[in-house]
Amino acid sequence: MDQEFGGTGPRLRATNPDMGQHLQAIYDTRVAEGLLRPDPAQRAVLLLLEDLRESLEDRPVQPPKGLLGRFFKPTIPEGVRGLYLWGGVGRGKSMLMDLFYAHTGIAEKRRVHFHAFMQEIQSALHEARKTGVEDALKPVAEGVAKNLRLLCFDEMQITDITDAMIVGRLFEMLFQEGVVIVATSNRPPDDLYKDGLNRQLFLPFIKQLNETLDVHEIASITDYRQDRLTGAQTYFSPANAKARVAIDEIWKDLTGGKSEKLVLEVKGREVPLPNYWAGMARADFWELCGQPLGPADYLALVGAVKLLVLENVPRLDSSKFNEAKRFVTLVDSLYEARTHVIISAEETPERLYLEGSGSFEFERTASRLREMQSADWATE
């Protein structure tokens, strides 16, 4: 027990030399190193996050030893409010949350993509219901809250009615269990699940979010994702080792080398994105266009990613008609959602699909691919 609770902070500090430093100081170091550009709106967020970090780390209650310790639940200093950080794309919300998360010296913390978390809840609920328990959400929420004091959600959005109907009670239970929530989103709470089915049933949750969390809009005017891509090559042909190395570099620059698996669920099907981070996905052509996927899947994809790296698009011909058709649908979805793309392909856009059914219509796809490479693509 000692190890799990009391010993955790110092142990983390020992392994990470930055641990315990003010977040602003870490940010300033990154600015000085040329890794980040200074931004007053981001600094304002850091002040809030630093307060939160200090409150979380400042845990006056020590775990009792022995038998009692088994029933001990780490407590959070009173009045610790979580944060709901929202704003336009590429403003640095995920980056700031990750900085905060990495440098908060407690072990009882978790960072998860909101959609992945809700999937986990749904399947835990499914299991709990099998046991015949009266209120299945209760043991599920308790399971999540066990040994947890900080829960960070990236990309909070609610599009699904089943999620919309349980998230209110789930959060209430988590709050009651003393879990502090930090979330990033592109929308303010008031716009969550906008135009969703039975939205009136969702309104109490919005009220609860507004009351329980500090809601802060990041006022930055810069889309740093766009900024990092401006001037960068975004279409590579041929798709050779050189292209791969160049894309590796861009990907690392954008994600900081982190990745997780995200599984989209579309009409009961699963579309896995094994290489995903903070709104960006990297996939091979065959993963997305070599499988029986259709418009609904690509729509779900562009709903979940703001940047797609698609590698190894081959030269397409009539023997690859289905793949070509899917590629056209994918590009249309990306185009309409104004998603950033980085592509490596065997050929230039115009030479990708010269013969086969629909090759004439492919001209439009090629033209869209060209437009998506322009410097101001996806600027708001």
**Which pair of structure tokens corresponds to residue 242?**
């050189």
Q: Give the contact letters, 265-294, x = binds to Mg ion (CB under 5 A), - = no.
A: -------------xx---------------
- Closest CB to ligand ATP among residues 36, 215: 36
* Distance in Å, CB of 76 to ligand ATP, minimum: 26
Helix (H, G, I), strand (E, B) or coil at 115: helix
Residue identified by tokens 């590429």 is 90
36 binds, among Mg ion, ligand ATP, none (CB under 5 to 8 A by kind): ligand ATP
Q: Which residue's CB atom is positioned nearest to Mg ion?
A: 94
* Distance in Å, CB of 299 to Mg ion, minimum: 20
**Closest to 212 measured CA to CA, from 166, 187, 266, 176:** 176
Residue identified by tokens 């008609």 is 321
Helix (H, G, I), strand (E, B) or coil at 175: helix
94 touches Mg ion by CB under 5 A: yes
95 touches ligand ATP by CB under 6 A: yes
- Closest CB to ligand ATP among residues 87, 314: 87
224 binds, among ligand ATP, Mg ion, none (CB under 5 to 8 A by kind): ligand ATP
Output the DSSP codes for 93-140: HHHHHHHHHHT---SSEEEEEHHHHHHHHHHHHHHHHHTT-SSTHHHH
In DSSP terms, 345 is beta-bridged to 313
User: Which stretch, 6-14, 163-171, 196-204, 221-229, contacts ligand ATP (CB under 6 A)?
Assistant: 221-229
- The secondary element (H helix, E strand) that includes residue 319 is none
**Which pair of structure tokens corresponds to residue 45?**
């967020």
What letter does residue 353 receive in the DSSP assignment?
B
Residues 218 and 241 sit within 8 Å (Cβ to Cβ): no
Among 49, 52, 56, 92, binds ligand ATP (CB under 6 A): 92
- According to CB under 6 A, which residues from 361 to 380 bind ligand ATP? none
Q: How many residues does the chain have?
A: 380
* Distance in Å, CB of 201 to ligand ATP, minimum: 27
37 touches ligand ATP by CB under 6 A: yes
89 touches ligand ATP by CB under 6 A: yes
22 dihedral zone (left: phi>0; alpha: psi -120 to 50; beta): beta
- According to CB under 6 A, which residues from 246 to 305 bind ligand ATP? 254, 278-279
Among 94, 119, 329, 339, binds ligand ATP (CB under 6 A): 94
Residue identified by tokens 């399971």 is 143
Binding site for ligand ATP (CB under 6 A): 36-37, 39, 42, 89-95, 184, 186, 224-225, 228, 254, 278-279, 306
Binding site for Mg ion (CB under 5 A): 93-94, 278-279
